[in-house]
Structure 1
Amino acid sequence: MDVLSDVVAVTRTGRPRSAHVRWHAPWGQEFASVPGSAGFQVILRGSCWLLSPDAEPFQLGTGDVVFLPHGRGHTLADSPGTPVTAAACGPDEVPLSAIHVAGTHVSDTVDRSGDGGPVTVVLCGAYQLDPSRTHPLLLTLPDLIHLPARAGRHPELSAAVSLLAAELENPRLGTDAAVPVLLDALLLYILRIWFNEQSSQVNPTGWAAALNDPPVTAALHAIHRDPASPWTVAKLAAESGLSRAPFARRFALLIGQPPIGYLTWWRMTAAARLLRTSDAPLRSLAAQVGYTSEFAFASAFKRTHGMAPGAYRRKN
């Protein structure tokens, strides 16, 4: 798998949640801050204002996408001065504000009437992430990413939004299978666009630069494609097309840790996911992440996660 696909597949947990919400002005809705989640809002029709505690309000229009990778609290309203409905606290209100913490997949259409004013239709939802193993790629994202609608730009994102909105507004046979797949596609398109835009800027840094740097990207793809391979700095350097020392410096500068440090971190992250989702014997699981010895794997896992693999599997 490529790096971005792997990051989404391994660090996201559970099933994503979504709702198709129609508001009639005047309206205002608070969305609570929920650490360990990533939320999004897509304006399908009309316009509204996004308000957050430490930023100036700004207006959103049809086709605008807002992504909140760290589950930051925020408010949507038809006007900055409209009274706001507090965040919900129970499952009955999931589509409006507690969508981040629902225990099951939510796919719903909600109509909230005001006084018959202009209508705003919003596609809102969230992805649950594993807070203990959040990938550094996601940690570098800002609290809020705004992708304004522009004619002819981001056609893949627009297509995913249209398909998702259609499934939620008019559920049919197969909708329960289609919605999670479309939500994953939406997340990937948002992240792809963000990193592409950042990497096109003058002197990009961090992961935006790393994903646009062929030598480092080649090494990352090698690690993610085959984490069980007996990688060394020299072998990863060969994948990158650089000699050992320049590669190690370049990798550490852009990724924030040495190549073998990242390799070990990723192996332990992949192992945690396998323990949560598979009942494979520990020996088999250890081999999948590059350990020929079950004892060595268990020791490395305990150093990283603070508990033995078996205890982690039982807990999760």
Structure 2
Amino acid sequence: MFSSYFVNMDSIDKFLELLDLKTEIDVFCSFRSPYLMQAPQAEKGKACFHLLLSGHCQMRSDKSVHRLQAGDFCLWTQGSMHQIGDAAEYSSVQVEQQNGILYRHNCQQDPSLQMICGHYRAGNQAAAGLLSLLPEPLIVSLKQIPQLSALSSLIYQEALARHLGSATVIKSMCEILLLFALRHLSSLPEQQSLIRLFSDPALSKAITPIFHNLADNYTIEQLAQKAYMSRATFARRFQQLSGMGVQAFVRLLRMSMAAKLLRQTNLSSSQIMAQIGYQSEAAFFDAFKAQFGTTPARYRKNLLANG
């Protein structure tokens, strides 16, 4: 599957790096039909995911209905409220916690569904904006991909074993799972969304330099030339796939990197602005304040104050 389409994994890595995601495992569910559970609307920047480990289920929101089976990975990139199950009303369940994992079940044996539920949280407001550009729901069938099928089996075994440290192991594997899921989706020719940028033969040539060095100030004309397109065609195609203009997209990338550097390093504002392509301190401060509602110095101070 991967050999038939070019997939720029390095750009996907960079994109995930700029999302600055934190992974959390929320619950392991084990249900026998009939059952019904609801995932409430999540705050911006929180993408809920479900990994079906055995059985099948129906998952629906106000906009769509999906029939999922064992091996399917479903990511709600905008955290939209959705329901899981086939019952007419919500089911009573038992809840227990062991070794850092919350277990929710309505039966002791022969479940018709077992799944891991968790979420990825974007590291800052700009990263949340980037995360929301991904399609929702984002669904990948892991059975089609040997590496992901094996990873799903390992997660299943770890959840059932309930060992010390199982929560940490599952969390780490779910981080890898997202990377491979995006890799697979970007390789599909019918995919028409932001992640298609990573494998589109023309557009990938234009976005790769952006991800490699945010300090470079490419014009739309220069990027269009790299994609062997006219300026108008490049801008239109980019808008169709990403949902926003080239300059707005690059600005989000830069602001997310700025926020990450403010949190993770002791670099000064002038050093950070140079790393992300701003020559004017005033322009950097204006862009940062427009995105985060405060100055870089106060942003860092608030981060330190909140631990």
What TM-score range do you get, normalising by the shorter chain? 0.7 to 0.9
1:132 aligns with 2:125: yes
String of CA shifts for 1:237-288, please: whole Å, max 9, x gaps: 56x2637xx1x32331122255444333321221122223333222322222
Of 61, 69, 92, which residue of structure 1 is paired with 2:77? 69
Alignment correspondent of 2:87: 80
Alpha-carbon shift at residue 107 of structure 1 (Å): 4.8
Alpha-carbon shift at residue 205 of structure 1 (Å): 4.4
Alpha-carbon shift at residue 174 of structure 1 (Å): 6.1
Comparing 205-214 with 303-312, which one deviates more in the overlay?
A: 205-214
Of 234, 259, 264, which residue of structure 2 is paired with 1:277? 264
1:49 aligns with 2:58: yes
- Quick one: distance in 1 between partners of 2:58 and 2:110? 15
1:305 aligns with 2:288: no
Q: Which runs of 5+ in 2 are unaligned?
A: 1-8
Comparing 290-299 with 180-189, which one deviates more in the overlay?
A: 290-299
Alpha-carbon shift at residue 53 of structure 1 (Å): 4.2
Instruction: State the secondary structure of the residue aligned to 2:187.
Output: helix
Please give the TM-score of this superposition, normalised by the length of structure 2: 0.76
- Quick one: distance in 1 between partners of 2:163 and 2:47? 27
Alignment correspondent of 1:19: 27
Alpha-carbon shift at residue 112 of structure 1 (Å): 1.9
- Residues 220 and 44 from structure 1, CA distance in 2 versus in 1: closer, same or farther, beyond 3 angstroms? same
Alpha-carbon shift at residue 309 of structure 1 (Å): 0.8
Of 244, 250, 271, which residue of structure 1 is paired with 2:233? 250
Alignment correspondent of 1:157: 148
Alignment correspondent of 1:231: 218
Over aligned residue pairs, what C-alpha RMSD do you find? 3.5
- Residues 194 and 137 from structure 1, CA distance in 2 versus in 1: closer, same or farther, beyond 3 angstroms? farther
- Quick one: distance in 2 between partners of 1:177 and 1:205? 34
- Quick one: distance in 2 between partners of 1:54 and 1:66? 15
One-letter amino acid of the counterpart of residue 113, structure 2: T
Alignment correspondent of 1:222: 209
Contact residue 15 and residue 128 of structure 1 kept, 8 A: yes
Alpha-carbon shift at residue 310 of structure 1 (Å): 0.9
One-letter amino acid of the counterpart of residue 272, structure 1: A
Contact residue 210 and residue 254 of structure 1 kept, 8 A: no
Contact residue 228 and residue 289 of structure 1 kept, 8 A: yes
Contact residue 30 and residue 84 of structure 1 kept, 8 A: no
String of CA shifts for 1:146-176, please: whole Å, max 9, x gaps: 43465xx122322222233333333557656
Alpha-carbon shift at residue 34 of structure 1 (Å): 0.9
Contact residue 47 and residue 79 of structure 2 kept, 8 A: yes
One-letter amino acid of the counterpart of residue 124, structure 1: C
- Residues 93 and 130 from structure 1, CA distance in 2 versus in 1: closer, same or farther, beyond 3 angstroms? farther
Of 186, 189, 192, which residue of structure 2 is paired with 1:195? 186
- Quick one: distance in 2 between partners of 1:117 and 1:280? 56
Of 109, 112, 135, which residue of structure 2 is paired with 1:141? 135
- Quick one: distance in 2 between partners of 1:231 and 1:194? 28
Comparing 28-37 with 225-234, which one deviates more in the overlay?
A: 225-234
- Quick one: distance in 2 between partners of 1:241 and 1:47? 42
- Quick one: distance in 2 between partners of 1:259 and 1:33? 29
- Quick one: distance in 1 between partners of 2:246 and 2:166? 42
Comparing 270-279 with 126-135, which one deviates more in the overlay?
A: 126-135
Contact residue 25 and residue 167 of structure 2 kept, 8 A: no
> What is the number of equivalent residue pairs in this alignment?
289
